[in-house]
Amino acid sequence: MARTTVADVLLDGLRRAGAARVFATTDATAALRAAAERSRLPVVEAPGAAAGGVLAAVTGEVGDGPGALMAGLGDASGLVRGLAHAQRDRAPLIVLTGGGDDAGLLAPVVKAALRVEPASAGHWIAHAANLAMTDPRGPVHLVVGDDVADDPALPVATSCRPGPLPAPESAALEAVGAALAAANRPVVVTGLECGPDDTRWIRSFVETLPAPVLSTVKGRGALAEPHPLALGALATGHPVLGRADLIVLVGLDSSELPPGVIPGGVPVVRIGRAPWPDGTFVADVRGDVALVIEELAPAVRARPAADWDVAELDGVKRAVTQAAVTRPDARLVALVREATPVGTLATGDVSALAAWQAVAPREALAPLGNAPPGYPIFAAMAAQLANAERRVVAFTTATGLVAGEVTLSLGAALGLPLVVVVLDPLGGTTAARLERVGVQPYLARGESDFALVFSHALVAARPAVVGVKGHES
């Protein structure tokens, strides 16, 4: 009977935490790779450390468990960039590295760096998984010494999932209820903590108030964006913010609220999962978002209807919708949205992604801040691996396509049918280069035939790139 090693315990813990696969850089330790094969946890080769960090981060963002990455420290700067992205996006991720002297380089971009000991390997992987998935979520670093990974270890039945949040405090619920009762024109803002299980409660909440809804980059789809009360992105100077007498933050992380976006003097209440540092709120209730809204339901139903003018909100909705598709690149995004089935996921780091109508959380994946070059393609690949039954479309630039080409070739080897739309003109040389790595290029003559060309790419059984013909630079 084969002995169980430290690496076996760690990989088994990843599986029990909900990881469906593990990404690996070329310099990941052999002991961890061998343990992954024994655990039957699929290993996907990452085309670089930064890409591996994004792939694992997005996997954690869209899935039910943490993303997982096995990496060496040969490209420490690239690994730092990938994990910094995960940290900004509050993506749950566990990265396992060897025990080199450079392990401390990752400390600024992870929630914790934990050194695994053979006698307690089960404890360390469970602690890492719980820490990564506890709000605010983020990356956790497990240092596995080269002389430790192959040591014998006892498997321990330790929970690798965080427990439920405590019930919301009665006093905090009453304070939020009182603030809502006193408000005539509340505005709701949704953030990254809003998940698929919260959507029906959020919709009922805003329709009962009623209140217009703005969203952060990560809060899109918490209220389906075609809904009349969904009025676009949270931004300084948004017309409904100037009219609001109460701001209700639902599921926002503190990193999502830029300084000065809330008009001075407007009271703010918050419903959220994670602690908020230095919050100056009229009321702050922590707990599961759906449960908090359910507890608030009697107070919301008992209050008078909000004093928003329906015609005014309709005018704002029309203006926001029209502004999102004024540029040619945004019109291409809108055309793709019309041509794709319900449930399609979109990724991008371009402003034109605002033209995509998200109807559920995490259907429009974009980074908080600057992501590593190639993010839209890395994110699309991770999303497609995690959602084999759904279509995935990435929106990027010509520069982003170059940064993601190696990842696309890997997608071709894996048979992933993701589609990349390049919002810059493409030339024939680029198309030929894509074909050589197994990616099918499609070139439209212009916006007039783009929808038809895209429809051909959508039925391809391999990665496809769609662009508009242009001259080579």
Q: Residue 365's pLDDT is what?
A: 98
Both tokens of residue 122?
Answer: 């089960």
Instruction: Name the residue among 110, 117, 17 with its Cα closest to residue 68.
Output: 17
User: Phi, psi at residue 148, to the nearest 5°?
Assistant: -110, -35
Q: Which CATH superfamily is domain 6-143 in?
A: Thiamin diphosphate (ThDP)-binding fold, Pyr/PP domains (3.40.50.970)
- For residues 456, 462, 468, 469, the Cα torsion angle rounded to the nearest 10 degrees is -100
Count of alpha carbons within 13 angstroms of residue 278, beta-carbon side = 4
- Give backbone dihedrals phi and psi of 241, rounded to 5 degrees, phi first: -65, -35
User: pLDDT by residue (tens digit) across 345-388?
Assistant: 999 999 999 999 999 999 999 999 999 999 999 999 999 999 99
Contact 24, 52 (CB under 8 A): yes
Examine domains 6-143 and 324-469 and report if their fold is the same: yes
Closest by CA to 31, choosing from 144, 114, 134, is 144
pLDDT of residue 103: 67
Instruction: Give the pLDDT confidence score for residue 348 in this predicted structure.
Output: 97
Q: What is the reported pLDDT for 100?
A: 65
Please, is 470 exposed, middle or buried when counting C-beta atoms within 10 Å of its C-beta (0-12, 13-18, 19+)?
middle
- Rounded distance between C-alpha atoms, residue 300 and residue 288, angstroms: 18
Architecture of domain 170-314: 3-Layer(aba) Sandwich (3.40)
Separation between Cα atoms, residue 78 and residue 171, nearest integer Å = 47
Domain ranges of the chain: 6-143, 170-314, 324-469
Alpha carbons 336 and 332: distance in angstroms, whole number:
6
Q: What is the pLDDT along the chain (473 residues), one digit of tens a residue?
A: 468 999 999 999 999 999 999 999 999 999 999 999 999 899 999 999 999 999 999 999 999 999 999 999 889 999 999 999 999 999 999 999 987 656 688 999 999 999 999 889 999 999 999 999 999 999 999 999 878 899 988 877 677 788 889 999 999 999 999 999 999 999 999 999 999 999 999 999 999 999 999 999 999 999 999 999 999 999 999 999 999 999 999 999 999 998 899 999 999 999 999 999 887 899 999 999 999 999 999 999 999 988 999 999 999 999 999 999 999 999 999 999 999 999 999 999 999 999 999 999 999 999 999 999 999 999 999 999 999 999 999 999 999 999 999 999 999 999 999 999 999 888 777 888 999 989 999 999 988 899 999 999 999 989 999 999 874 53
Amino acid 473: pLDDT: 38
pLDDT at 101: 58
> Which residues on adjacent β-strands are paired with residue 189?
214, 249
Separation between Cα atoms, residue 428 and residue 441, nearest integer Å? 9
CATH superfamily, region 324-469 = Thiamin diphosphate (ThDP)-binding fold, Pyr/PP domains (3.40.50.970)
Could you read off the pLDDT of 399-451 as tens digits, one per residue? 999 999 999 999 999 999 999 999 988 877 788 899 998 999 999 998 889 99
pTM, two decimals, is 0.95
Beta carbons of 325 and 355 less than 8 angstroms apart = yes
Are the C-beta atoms of 269 and 178 separated by less than 8 Å?
no
